[in-house]
Amino acid sequence: MDTYALIDYALQRYSPREIAMALGVDARTVRRWQVRETEPPSYVSDAIRQRLLPLQGLQNDAPADFTFIDLFAGIGGMRIAFEKQGGKCVFTSEWDAYARKTYAANFHDGPDHVFAGDITTVDEKDVPDHDVLLAGFPCQPFSIAGVSKKNALGRPHGFSDKTQGTLFFDVARIIAEKKPKAFLLENVKNLVSHDKGRTFSTIIDVLSNELGYKVTWRVINGKHFVPQHRERIIIVGFREDVGFNWDGLNLPAFDEAPKLSNILHRQDGSEPAEWNCLEGPKGKVAANYTLTDKLWAYLQSYAAKHREKGNGFGFGLVSGSDTARTLSARYYKDGSEILISQGAKKNPRRLTPRECARLMGFDDTFRIPVSDTRAYKQFGNSVVVPVIAEVARLMAPHIKSEAAAPKKRSRKAA
């Protein structure tokens, strides 16, 4: 790529202001380069590669053991898990522009990689051939909180939700057309019981009887791997009967799982100074994450009111020795489900976005290029990466065997 092409490529992933900060120039300078008004200095190419793009270059051309597509990709938690097993992503779809920004900041596929927005507008014939389909199709129409909210507002849920509930059928039409060797779908635990089991029954009927896959599923709690109670259903299907089962699933015991102290900031100066959630030479959590007196008083009053009614609603106050409630996409509103105690004399605080990333199993190299509000939504909607990684490990031998089978047969025939 020449310098202009590199600038265009970087602008797909970062704002002009972010590029300007990385290169030590003014944002207006970047915009002038973008429209070819001025010519960038010779150092800009190397600076972009070193400061904005990963060290291994723009695209990893190493041979892959299998290929996969990433639907409803969010910020790429499933992709991380399957890349570790030797897979290569050949197609991505995610409708949210801010999630796409985070995804693009962490995965650099080059200009040939197709990154679609709204999957409902994509013709299934235009999706590249692939060995594995991954999809965390929207869970809000089926979640307990989502259903309760929609019922309260008189809105449809499940498959009656025409904007989100029917997106499963976009997954189905792509499976029907491309016939991948395997798929992994993820959703909330409540999918199994939604609409008295009819929703889940429809999904399994489509996958098993209409599409002809050998389907199995398992509800897994992220608490095995991260300090968070988060139950999700994982549905796995193989086109052939490869003998896949859950017997080899390695789930650490809950009493051996990490506690919140493992993901909280150390606040001893050992973490990167450039993280904007920290301040001072010791890297203390910035003061703006501590709840205001007004918000803290409101949450305590709200909890007390519901306790009097016999309800369990209220905030979740935890310390480093605890396991948190489920992180939700609404965490940005008040942080009430996971509040970190700072002692009796100080109001509790929210998790920082970096702590949320750790709570979902992302490592500290994962880039967070969006605002705190957007980051909270993204991590609240994400998969727990080590859960998917463990399922990917279990699936990988069967996927690789199936992916290699045609090559073996063609060599034998030759």
Render pLDDT for 21-58 as a digit per residue (tens, 0 to 9).
778 788 889 999 998 989 998 888 877 877 776 533 44
More confident residue, 41 or 384: 384
pLDDT value for 406: 60
pLDDT at 377 over 70: yes
> Higher model confidence: residue 383 or residue 165?
383
Q: Are residues 371 and 302 in the same domain?
A: yes
**Per-residue confidence band for 403, with pLDDT thresholds at 50, 70 and 90:** confident
Picking from 40, 139, 191, 102, the residue whose alpha carbon sits closest to that of residue 373 is 102
pLDDT score, position 235: 97
pLDDT in tens, 152-211: 435 443 333 333 447 888 999 999 999 999 999 999 898 888 778 888 888 999 999 999
Position 17 scores a pLDDT of: 80
Quick check: is 408 in a domain? yes
The pLDDT assigned to 149 comes to 43
Residue 376 pLDDT > 90, yes or no?
Answer: yes
Check whether 10 has a pLDDT greater than 90: no
The predicted pLDDT at position 312 comes to 65
The mean of the pLDDT values for the chain is 86
Residue 61 lies in a domain: no
Same domain, yes or no: 82 and 127 = yes
What total number of domains does the chain contain?
Answer: 3
Contacts for 325-329: CB closer than 8 Å, 24+ residues apart: 325/228, 325/229, 326/228, 326/229, 326/230, 327/228, 327/230, 327/351, 327/356, 327/359, 327/360, 327/379, 327/380, 328/145, 328/380, 329/376, 329/377, 329/380, 329/381
Tell me whether residue 76 is in a domain: yes
pLDDT of residue 1: 63
State yes or no: pLDDT of 5 exceeds 60. yes
Q: What is the pLDDT of residues 278-304, one digit of tens each?
A: 999 999 999 999 999 999 999 999 888
- Written as one letter, the residue type at 365 is T
Q: How far apart (Å, rounded) are the C-alpha atoms in residues 387 and 26?
A: 43
The answer to whether residue 277 is catalytic is: no
pLDDT at 330: 93
pLDDT at 145: 46
16 three-class SS: helix
Cα(82)–Cα(299) distance, integer angstroms = 40
Q: Is residue 153 part of a domain?
A: yes
Predicted confidence (pLDDT) at residue 310 exceeds the cutoff of 80: no
Positive or negative torsion for Cα 334, 340, 344, 345: negative
pLDDT for the residue 117: 86
Task: Examine the domain organization and report whether 267 and 347 are in the same domain.
Answer: yes
Same domain, 230 and 330: no
Distance CA 214, CA 235 (A): 11
Residues 19 and 47 in one domain: yes
Bigger pLDDT: 360 vs 102: 360
pLDDT of res. 90: 93
Q: Are residues 109 and 220 in the same domain?
A: yes
Give mean pLDDT, residues 85-91: 94
Q: What residues make up the domain containing 212?
A: 66-251+385-413
Higher pLDDT, 135 or 107: 135
Q: Where are the beta strands (DSSP E) in 258-326?
A: 278-279, 284-285, 317-318
| 324 and 209 assigned to the same domain | no
- Which residue is it, tokens 């979740």? 316
**The pLDDT of residue 379 is above 80:** yes
pLDDT at 43: 83
Two structure tokens written together for 203: 């999904």
pLDDT in tens, 244-256: 999 999 999 999 9
| Edge-to-edge strands, sheet with 132-135 | 114-116, 87-93, 66-71, 132-135, 182-188, 231-238, 214-221
Task: Judge whether 128 lies within some domain.
Answer: yes
What pLDDT does 47 receive?
Answer: 79
Residue 373 belongs to some domain of the structure:
yes
Residue 358 shares a structural domain with residue 372? yes
* pLDDT for the residue numbered 160: 39
The values of phi and psi at residue 69, to 5°, are: -115, 155
CA distances from 12 to 19, 50, 57, 308 (A): 11, 17, 16, 52
Identify the active-site residue in 89, 139, 277, 356: 139
Q: Do residues 398 and 355 share a domain? A: no
Kindly state the percentage of the chain with pLDDT values over 90: 60
CB 40 within 8 A of CB 26: no
| Higher-scoring residue by pLDDT: 322, 190 | 322
Residue 59 has pLDDT above 90, yes or no: no
Mean pLDDT for 83-100 is: 93
Q: What angle do CA 316, 363, 236 make, to 5 degrees?
A: 85
Decide if pLDDT at 263 tops 90.
Answer: yes
Q: Is residue 59 part of a domain?
A: no
Residue 235 belongs to some domain of the structure: yes
* Residues 229 and 267 both lie in one domain: no
More confident residue, 143 or 288: 288
Res. 336: pLDDT tops 70: yes
Among 37, 53, 18, 112, which residue's Cα sits nearest to residue 45? 53
Task: Point out the least confidently predicted range of 33-37, 95-99, 140-144.
Answer: 140-144
Find the CATH number of the domain harbouring 167. 3.40.50.150
C-beta of residue 316 within 8 angstroms of C-beta of residue 324: yes
CATH code of the domain in which 277 resides: 3.90.120.10
Mark whether 375 and 231 lie in a shared domain: no
Same domain, yes or no: 188 and 294 = no
| 80-85 long-range contacts, CB within 8 A, separation 24+ | 80/362, 80/385, 80/388, 80/389, 81/385, 81/386, 81/388, 81/389, 81/391, 81/392, 82/132, 82/134, 82/388, 82/392, 84/389, 84/392, 85/392, 85/393, 85/395, 85/396, 85/399
